[in-house]
Structure 1
Amino acid sequence: MLNDFFPNVRMEDMITATNETLYMTLISVAGTFILGILLGLLLYLSGPGGLWQNKVVNTITASVVNIFRAIPFIILILLLFPFTDFLVGTIRGPNAALPALIIGGAPFYARLVEIALKEVEKGVVEAAKAMGAKSSTIIFKVLLPESMPALISGITVTAIALIGYTAVAGAIGSGGLGDFAYFYGFQRSNFDVVFICTVLIIIIVFIFQFIGDYASRKLDKR
C-alpha cells in the first residue's frame, strides 16, 4: 500500500539520508554548544559590570558574533568552501557541512547564552565575590549552574535551527534529508520523496524539542 502512495521512496536511501541528517545535527549541536558557551561567556564577562570588563574585547567579540549572525547560511557555506576543503579535504558530504553549521550556529547561540547569564541574579554573583570566590569558581559554580535551564532551552532552539540549516546545506551536496529531497525529489519531480523527507524532518524537530523541554524542566526543578 505504501508503494502505491510513495512509489519513488526507497527505504534504504531514506534511512541513510535520515542518519546523515542526525549525524550532522548532533555533531554541530555539540560544537555549537561548546563554542557558543565560550563566546557567550566572553560577551557577558567582558561587558559592562562583568568580571573581566573590557570594552575592546567586548566590542571585538560582539562584532564577530553580529557579523556571522548576519550572513545568510547558504552564503556562509560558500564563503567557507576554502576553509572546509582545507579542514575536511572535501566540500561535499556530511562532514563538509559541519564547519559551516558550527560557525553559523555558535554566534546565534552565543547571544542566547549572554541573555541567560544576564538573567542570573546579581546578588548571587556579588555574594560569591564577597566570599572571595575566584572568577573560575563564579563561572563554573554560580553562573553556569544558575543559568543552565535557560542554556538548555537556548541550545534546543539552536538545534532546531541547525536541523533547518542541514536541509539548506543539502542543496549543495552535503547529504541528509535536504540533499535527498532536492536532488532525488524536486529535481526529478518525485514529490512523494519531498513529502516524506519533510515529514521526517518534522519528526526529528519534535524529538529534539521534546528532549530539550524535558531536560530544561528537570534542571529548573533542582
Structure 2
Amino acid sequence: MGLADFIDHTNLRPSANIADIQKLCEEAKTYGFYAVCVNGCNVPIAKETLKDTAVKVAAVIGFPLGAMSTKAKVFEAVDCIENGAEEIDMVINIGWMKSEMYDAVRDEIEAIKRAIGDKILKVIIETCYLTDAEKEKACDLAIEAHADFVKTSTGFGTGGATFEDVKLMKSIVGEKAKIKASGGVKDRETAIQYIELGVSRIGTSSGPKLLKQEAP
C-alpha cells in the first residue's frame, strides 16, 4: 500500500463551496486517495463527482462539537448514508464523557453503528479535551459499541493528532479497532510516522502536498 491508500482527503471548512468540494474530489481521483471526508450537505455532490471511481465518501456527523442529541446524530448519519456516504465520522458527546456518563456515550455510538449497519463508523474522541484516562475510556467505549475506528480529532479543537495520543490509543484498541489520525498532519514525514505507529487512516487537507513530497 502506498501513502495515498491511507488518506481521507478532507475539506470541512464552513465556507467550502461546491467548486471547492468538486476540486477536493478531483484531487482524490488524481492521487488515488482512499476517501474524501466532507460535511453532510456536500455528500451528494461528492458522490456525483466520484461516481465510477474507487474513492469512497466519508461524512462527518455531530460535527464539530459532538453536543447534539443522539436522535439528531442518528438521523444525520442515516441521511448521509442514504445520500451516498459509505463511512461516517462521528464526534462523541465530550460533555458526557467529562461527566463520566459512560453508558450514554457508549449507547450513542452503538445507536449510530446500528443505524448505519455495515458502513464504517469512525468515532472522533477529540483528544485535546480529554485526559489520558478519559482517552483510554473513550477508546474502550468505542470498542464496546462495535465502532470500526477511533479517531483523534476534528481539526477544529484546540489541538490535533499527536504521536503520544496515537500510541496511547493503539495500546487500548490493539486489533479490536482501527485508528485514524486527524488534525495537523501536513507533511509526508509526519504521515509516515503515524502509519508506522499503526494508524490505518490519516485525515488531512494536505493530501496532494504529502504525495508530491513522496520520494520517486
* Larger proportion of strand: 2
TM-score range, shorter chain: under 0.3
* Larger proportion of helix: 1
Higher relative contact order, structure no. (Cα contacts within 8 Å, ≥ 6 residues apart): 1
TM-score by length of 1: 0.24
The structure number with the bigger radius of gyration is 1
